[in-house]
Amino acid sequence: MSKKQRKKEMNLYYFDNGQEQEETIDDIVKRRKMREREKRIEQRKKQEFDEAFDFDTETVIGMTNKNKIKKEEQRKKEFLKKQRKRNKLIKRIKLLLKILVLVGIIAGAVVFATCSPIFNIADIEVLNNNRLSSETIISLSGISKEQNIFSFISARVSDNIKQNAYIEDVKIKRIIPNKVQIEVQEREPKFSIPVLGEFAYINTQGYILEITQNELNLPVIYGINTPEDQIQVGSRVNEEDLGSLETILRIMSVMNDNSLSDKVTNIDISDKNDYIIYMQDEKKTIHLGDASNLNNKMLYIIEILEKEKDVEGDIFVNGDLNNNFKVYFREKV
């Protein structure tokens, strides 16, 4: 019998609960291995538990750190927000202070400018006036010397002066410290209209500038359609007469190009198809017809004026020159 077999068959005796128990070597070895295996299992579970605990701890710590970072960022945002509000408030306060200082300076300057005798008007100058005197324009303006230069409103002064029909436009200029300059643009009378034994002067825009018994050396327009009670200083002739006036201006422009406009004494617009022009110095009455072919008509008129010089009569160019109308002169008998 081998040694191994003898060991295997050896019996060990021990007491369990007061009773004798028999155990072989193999049983002891198995029991020891089982204990070692249980120990290894316990160690592995402990290791796994420790690792799980470490992971949870790291997770908790990580979450805690994130919360701290988030709270810190939130605090920073709130701080920056408060800082921006504070900066805006400071800027507004500074702006308000600047405005108050500026208002104070302006108010002081206004008080000084309106109260100081340095700014009392010493001279009023009128420019570009030909028809109206400087005294008349100054009187219309309502401005007077020794008045404070800032005490009047330019627009109101301009409106006052424009009450005169001869004034078309006005510019008011303050020259610091004590001079006022009034620049006017006057309307020029170009024609006159007989009305109730007097003459109404009108400009090229049909404005009635003056009604007087004095007759200027201007072409007189007869056949006006505007009622006499509507012919008032500052008003305009009616629409029909404005259309006729436009035609007259075209006729006069062509006559001026041919050096004939200064010879025109009267213009009759009663018949819109036959404008009649009278030249007193030439002793000629021109039946012009309408405003067509004006340049050709002027050539015939010039020729007859030279040919029939000092002969009183009528020139007829009131036909259709394109249809072989024969221009002719008829001497007054």
Q: What is the pLDDT of residues 213-230, one digit of tens each?
A: 988 889 999 999 999 989
CATH of residue 158? 3.10.20.310
| HEC string for the chain | CCHHHHHHHCEEEEEECCEEEEEEHHHHHHHHHHHHHHHHHHHHHHHHHHHHHHHHHHHHHHHHHHHHHHHHHHHHHHHHHHHHHHHHHHHHHHHHHHHHHHHHHHHHHHHHHHHCHHHECCEEEEECCCCCCHHHHHHHHCCCCCCECCCCCHHHHHHHHCCCCCEEEEEEEEECCCEEEEEEEECCCCEEEEECCEEEEECCCCEEEEEECCCCCCCEEECCCCCHHHCCCCCECCHHHHHHHHHHHHHHHHHHHCCCHHHCCEEECCCCCCEEEEECCCCEEEEEECCCCHHHHHHHHHHHHHHCCCCCEEEECCCCHHHCCCCEEEECC
Residues 200 and 327 in one domain: yes
Structural domain span for residue 175:
118-186
Residues 296 and 273 in one domain: yes
110 in a structural domain: yes
Q: What percentage of the chain exceeds 70 in pLDDT?
A: 83
Residues 204 and 325 in one domain: yes
Last residue of a domain, one of 186, 212, 230: 186
Residues 198 and 322 in one domain: yes
Averaged over 93-108, what is the pLDDT?
82
Domain count, the chain: 3
Last residue of a domain, one of 115, 133, 160: 115
Last residue of a domain, one of 134, 168, 186: 186
Q: What is the pLDDT of residues 254-290, one digit of tens each?
A: 999 999 999 999 999 999 899 999 999 999 999 999 9
158 in a structural domain: yes
Residues 324 and 197 in one domain: yes
Listed range (110-119, 242-251, 292-301, 317-326) with the worst mean pLDDT: 110-119
Residues 56 and 142 in one domain: no
